Amino acid sequence: MIHGGLFWKDEVVRMKKVFILLLLFLVGASIVIYKKREPQSLTEQLDLAALSVQPASQEVRKHVNDQINSIRHTAITEAVAKVSNAVCGINVTQIREYVTNPFLDDPFLRYFFPDRIYREAVKSLGSGFLISENGFILTNEHVISNATEIMVTLPDGSSKEAKIVGADVTTDIALLKIDGDNYPYIRFGNSDDVIIGEWVIALGNPFGLFEINAKPTVTVGVVSAVDRDFGRLESNRVYQDMIQTDAAINQGNSGGPLVNSLGEVIGMNTFIYTGSKYNTGSVGIGFAIPINRIKRVLKELKEYGEVVRTWRSGLEVDNLTPLMLRYFGVKHGVIVTNVEHDSPAERAGLEVGDIIIEVNGKKISRVQDIWQIIEESDIHGGDILKLKVYRNGTIFNTNLQLERVIRKKRH
Residues belonging to the active site:
142, 172, 254
**Are 171 and 230 in contact, with CB atoms under 8 Å apart?**
no
- CB count, 10 Å around CB of 287? 22
Rounded CA separation 257/22 (Å): 86
d(CA 331, CA 364): 10
Element (H, E) at 288: strand 286-290
* Helices and strands (DSSP H and E) totals, the chain: 10, 23
Burial of 271 (0-12, 13-18, 19+ CB in 10 A): buried
CA distance linking residue 54 with residue 50, whole number of Å: 8
Among residues 223, 288, 259, 226, the alpha carbon closest in space to that of 75 is found at 259
225: number of Cβ within 10 Å:
13
The single-letter code of the amino acid at 194 is V
SS3 state at 313:
coil
Count Cβ atoms below 10 Å from residue 380 Cβ, excluding itself: 16
How deeply is 330 buried, as exposed, middle or buried, from its count of CB atoms within 10 A (0-12, 13-18, 19+)? middle
Give CA separation, 336 vs 222, 316, 389, 391, in Å.
Answer: 47, 6, 10, 11
Is 369:318 a contact under the CB 8 Å cutoff? no
Question: How far apart, in whole angstroms, are the C-alpha atoms of residue 388 and residue 394?
Answer: 11
Q: In a 3-state reduction of DSSP, which class is residue 224? A: strand
3-state secondary structure of 159: strand
Asked if 103 contacts 110 with a C-beta cutoff of 8 angstroms, the reply is yes
CB 167 within 8 A of CB 173: yes
Query: Do residues 194 and 166 touch, judged by C-beta distance below 8 A?
Result: no
